[in-house]
A and B are shown apart, each in its own frame.
Chain A
Amino acid sequence: MDIEKYIEDIKIKFPKIIDVEIVNTKRLMIHIPKNSLLEIAEYVFKELGYRYIIVTAMDSKEGFEIIYHFSDDSSGWIVNLNVMLQRDKPEIESLTPVVYGTEWIEREIMDLLGIKFLNHPKPERFLFAEDWPEGKYPLRRDYKEEKN
């Protein structure tokens, strides 16, 4: 795929895109604002027909970073949509209505990082037992392990 042209085209189609960078060989990172996630993901998943891989969430210095990984299997490129969330308001629209496969991973992120996915069809606990205390999120930087 002609990556220069691809970047140019997607920037024109979605002017809200903050930045596009090539992180490695065949790895593209598109930084987008959180309110345009659904339309860009829908374009990538449905119109371009990319395969959904997984969602990575992490607690980075700037805030909570969520990366949606999609694969273009015809060219081998992995296209990543990167959304940065503010630490004081970790909320984002759920992608499950568009990409059915994200149902599990969004619930997992809710458990591990305490990020809220709005309009998720089943916002219940996924990994943790019922007696896991509320408000304790193991993948957050301020999480302290309790020694038994």
Chain B
Amino acid sequence: MGKRTLVPLGPYHPLLEEPEFFKLYCDGEIVKEVIWETGYNHRGIEKLCQSKTFEQVFYVVERICGICSTSHPFAYANAVESIPDVEIPERAKYIRTIVGELERIHSHLLWVGLAGHFLGYNTVFMWAWKYREPVLDMFEIITGNRNNYAMFTIGGVRRDISPEQATQLLKVLDDVEVKTTMLVGAVMDDPVIHARLKGVGVLTAKDIHDFGAVGPTARASGVDIDVRRDDPYAAYDMVDWKVITASGGDVFAKAEVRLLEMYESISIIKQCLEALKKTEAGDIKVKVKEIPPGIGIGHAEAPRGEVFHFVKSDGGNSPIRHKIRAPSYTNIPTFRRSCVGGTISDATIATAAVDPCYCCTERMSHVFDYTTGKHIMSAAELIKLSQEKTKNLKTKLKV
């Protein structure tokens, strides 16, 4: 074994969930091994939930992540409502679905923007984040908050969607659809992006099964799984939509899946808004008196993949055990396969490709020589390295 250089990714960004520390051991420019460390910001939420009532747990779990703040309550609701086997009103099902899909749109737009930035496409970054704003504003109009929506409760939702809000939402969706088409064009028709992302960070279907990876990460490798279709909850079996898959397994395929999924989300929301007209306004909640002893297992498809909640009740006020698994928990270990053998400049985008609920690159601090401890380059310089590779490709392809 020759001399290896350690490139640290991480570990800390206090604003984001799941801070981790990836050590990339490199030989020259090639990544040879990835070692991870975590636990920098363990908040003990599972333990905390055991001291809250079933109702209060909703507001704890939606704070697991600011981006996925509907997915966790969604999975928790599926879990806890399955214990007494509650059937929620149809209107509540549609409202839940609308909020869940709006979240997917804003999360995917966020990812497209970040991915653009790391590749040196700052225009894509500005566009994507600009068009994400109206979606967040819509959240504020519907739920009262841009983040941490507090929409869910046991037996239904807490707020209704009025016809006026529905009209506003439709207008925003029409705009987003146009802008999505523009972003799809910017990504899919660009020869540089093809050259830069195809064949980078490839995950095979076997890798996906080995690690239990989920969501767009799995679907980009041709693994056709989606909880919304496989084990339908809320209104997903009452609307018409399809699961988007791609076959490449590389970063390009992951971008493709996410971009096309936004169209499906827009279509789902439009159908739900149409269906809301046929249900009675205000019928959004059923009363659930108590949660009997038993086990509830629920999952929901978050923008990044399946969120899984396990709740055990002994008939009291609080869960006696609440287990939570976020999608990044199984997606992040895939770096071991996607980064190894690639270059450092590709590791930046390969790690960002699973959308690990924060951007790993944000956490890069410094590169130093493992043997001498000498400082080589900083995080900003690493992003620059990735952007330069794109620039070189542009010159080569003469665009």
Interface string of A13-31 (1 = CB under 8 A from B): 0000000000111110100
Q: 1/0 per residue A22-59: CB within 8 Å of B?
A: 01111101000000000000000000010111101010
Q: List A89-140 residues whose CB lies under 8 Å from chain B.
A: 99-101, 103-105, 125-129, 138-139
Which residue of chain A is the closest to B214 with respect to CB atoms?
Answer: A51
B175 proximal to A (CB < 8 A): no
Contact partner of A138 (CB less than 8 A), chosen from B47, B209, B232, is B47
The answer to whether A53 and B212 touch (CB under 8 A), given A127-B39, A139-B46, is: yes
User: Could you say which of A23, A52, A56, A75 contacts B294, with CB atoms under 8 Å apart?
Assistant: A23
Any B CB within 8 A of the CB of A73 = yes
A27 to B214, CA, bound (A): 20
Of B102-110, B183-191, B325-333, B350-358, the segment with at least 4 beta carbons within 8 Å of chain A is B325-333
Query: What is the minimal beta-carbon distance from B322 to any residue of chain A, in angstroms?
Result: 9
Is there an interface contact between B321 and A25, defined as CB atoms closer than 8 Å?
no
Q: Say if the beta carbon of B94 comes within 8 Å of chain A.
A: no
Q: Which residues of B contact A60 (CB under 8 A)?
A: 321
Q: Is the interface of A mostly helix, strand, loop or mixed?
A: mixed
Pick the contact of A101: B83, B210, B295, B297 (CB < 8 A).
B210
How many Å lie between the Cα of A126 and that of B325 in the bound state? 16
Instruction: Give every chain B residue within 8 A of A99 (Cβ-Cβ).
Output: 210, 212
- Tell me, in angstroms, the Cα distance from A137 to B360 when the chains sit together: 30
Q: How large is the interface on A (under 10, 10 to 19, 20 to 34, 35 or more residues)?
A: 35 or more
B290 lies within 8 A of chain A by Cβ: no
Nearest neighbor of B224 in chain A, beta-carbon distance: A73
Q: Which of B217-261 contact A (CB under 8 A)?
A: 225, 230-232
Known A-B contacts A53-B308, A53-B325, A54-B329; A25 and B211 likewise in contact (beta carbons under 8 Å)? no
Is B90 at the interface (CB under 8 A from chain A)?
A: no
Contacts of A58 in B (CB 8 A): 312, 320-321, 323
* A69 and B297 contact, Cβ closer than 8 Å, known pairs A53-B308, A53-B325, A56-B310: yes
Which of A76-99 touch B at CB < 8 Å?
A: 76, 78, 80, 99
A7 at the interface (CB under 8 A from B): no
- What is A's interface to B at a CB cutoff of 8 Å? 23-27, 29, 49, 51-54, 56, 58, 60, 67, 69, 71, 73-76, 78, 80, 99-101, 103-105, 125-129, 138-139
